[in-house]
Amino acid sequence: MTNAIIFIYLAAVLIIGMLAGRGIKNISQYAVAGKSYGSMVIFATLSASFIGGGFSMGNAEKVFLLGIVNIVALWGFSLKEVLVAKYIAPRMDRYRDAISVGDIMKSHYGVSAKVFSGIFGFILCAGILGAQIGAIGYVTNLFLGIERFWGIMLGCGIVITYATVGGMRAVVWTDIVQFVILAFGLPLTLYFGIQSAGGIEHIVNTVPSGHLSLPVEPLALIALASLFLTFVFGETLVPPYLQRLLIGRDAREVSKGTLYSGLFSFPFFAVTGLIGIVALVLNPEINPNLAMPFVIQQALPPILQGIVIAAVIAIIMSSADSFLNAAAICFSNDIVKPLKKEAMSHKSEVLMARLVTLMVGVLAVIFALSIESILDILIYSYNFWAPIILVPLVMAVMQKKVSQKKFLVGAGAGIFSLLIWNYGLGSPLGIHGIVVGVFANYTGFVLADNSESSS
């Protein structure tokens, strides 16, 4: 029964994605689906995009190992979404012709900045996509008994197929289905897990005390603040999330959808993290990477198992398809298109985007086979975005004074500081280089402004 439910779900997602993606005639439809969606669709597709393997299974893994401190750290992401809804999303009407981060960067910093942001956006998206595909392998291996390699091929094959054919349209409509399933499935898992573990009181009395409290030592608080800021900066305006700001019918709808998504993520991250606590009580000897699947397997009755396993797969696939589509747009629209001397027809642009989507999916499968910790690979991928692109992108959208020189000085300072801090100094005080890189980028950006003024 469980396996039947899962395979029916996978077939349904594939069919929905293929049907939704029919009739695409140009790259704008492929990348941003005609910019026609309202706040509730944006809420669903944005939430489904960021709640991937890292923020679900990865969160449960880290809370299993470290405690609720990881939930608090992830709330940095939630705060970021609220801030984007208030300060960034209302300004998106200025970019009605844009379909990517690169298009926005080009309008402020020139073609070279578009290519530059496309390169780093592609690397970021490919890395995070690999993490999601790796998570599919873990889940299918545990629940379906499929060897991890074949599980990755099954899940990724479905995602690649509908994302390649249908672009953003297919991604949005499959995201809506996946969001509905995960929004109900994961809270159900926590509820039944708590009952299976003997109730809340037994859990509180059983887990190590440090797992249910926040650190008080100064160095530990500094490390927590650093991780919190890492999640604030790490995925801010990354290509798939910025694309969600470009698919709305107007800035008001985009702002509302983004705010709903940010508010939803606060309790949702708590739910996925606490599942890790339940797993720790049920069996402290399990592989932490499988904390969430273990609770599903142990605590739920068979029919609910099938639904919730489908929810877990939905979580991962919804994030994977978003980063796959964004990686393809970064490569085709932001890197290849500006470097070609001849203009491309609409048909050629769509064909190139589809071919790149297929290529990225295949490369991500290869990358996924070497992944260990899902959440760790997310943080590593952030290195290619926040310290380099985030500051000049935010400054441009906020209508601050910008120039090519400011972009280059800031990006250079961000990259250099990240490398020195992480790999030269070994991340002193537990502060991640992403945080240092973002502040160094901002400092370089401002100092370049001062030097221009004085000259």
pLDDT tens digit string along 400-454?
Answer: 888 999 999 999 999 999 999 988 898 888 888 889 999 999 999 998 866 554 4
Angle between helix 239-246 and helix 251-282 axes, rounded to 10 deg: 140
| Distance of alpha carbon 437 from alpha carbon 455, whole angstroms | 27
On whether residue 14 sits in a domain, the answer given is yes
On whether residue 369 sits in a domain, the answer given is yes
Q: For residue 220, give the nearest of 228, 190, 203 by alpha carbon.
A: 228
Mean pLDDT of 242-264: 92
Angle between helix 148-196 and helix 251-282 axes, rounded to 10 deg: 80
Q: Give the amino acid at 213.
A: S
Q: What percentage of the chain exceeds 70 in pLDDT?
A: 95
The encoded tokens of residue 279 equal: 């797993």
Which has the minimum average pLDDT: 88-92, 154-158, 274-278?
154-158
On whether residue 438 sits in a domain, the answer given is no
3-state SS class at 37: strand
| Mean per-residue pLDDT over the chain, rounded | 85
pLDDT in tens, 111-131: 999 999 999 888 888 877 877
On whether residue 278 sits in a domain, the answer given is yes
Cβ count within 10 A of residue 370: 9
| Distance of alpha carbon 158 from alpha carbon 132, whole angstroms | 13
Domain of residue 356, residue span: 2-383
Mean pLDDT of 295-317: 82
On whether residue 404 sits in a domain, the answer given is no
On whether residue 319 sits in a domain, the answer given is yes
- Whether 74 has a pLDDT exceeding 90, the answer reads yes
pLDDT in tens, 380-390: 777 778 899 99
On whether residue 391 sits in a domain, the answer given is no
- Whether 37 has a pLDDT exceeding 80, the answer reads yes
Burial zone of 289 (CB within 10 Å; 0-12 exposed, 13-18 middle, 19+ buried): buried
Mean pLDDT of 66-84: 94
| Distance of alpha carbon 245 from alpha carbon 255, whole angstroms | 8
- Whether 51 has a pLDDT exceeding 70, the answer reads yes
- 380-415: string of b/e by CB count within 10 Å (b at 16+)? ebbbbbbbbbbbbbbbbbeeeebbeebbbbbbebbb
In this prediction, residue 11 has a pLDDT band, given cuts at 50, 70 and 90, of confident
pLDDT: which is higher, 390 or 362:
390
pTM to 2 decimals? Answer: 0.85
CATH, residue 366: 1.20.1730.10
Overall number of domains in the chain: 1
- Whether 363 has a pLDDT exceeding 50, the answer reads yes
On whether residue 436 sits in a domain, the answer given is no
Cβ count within 10 A of residue 15: 12
| Distance of alpha carbon 373 from alpha carbon 288, whole angstroms | 9
DSSP output for 77-101: HHHHHHHIIIIIGGGGGGGTT--SH
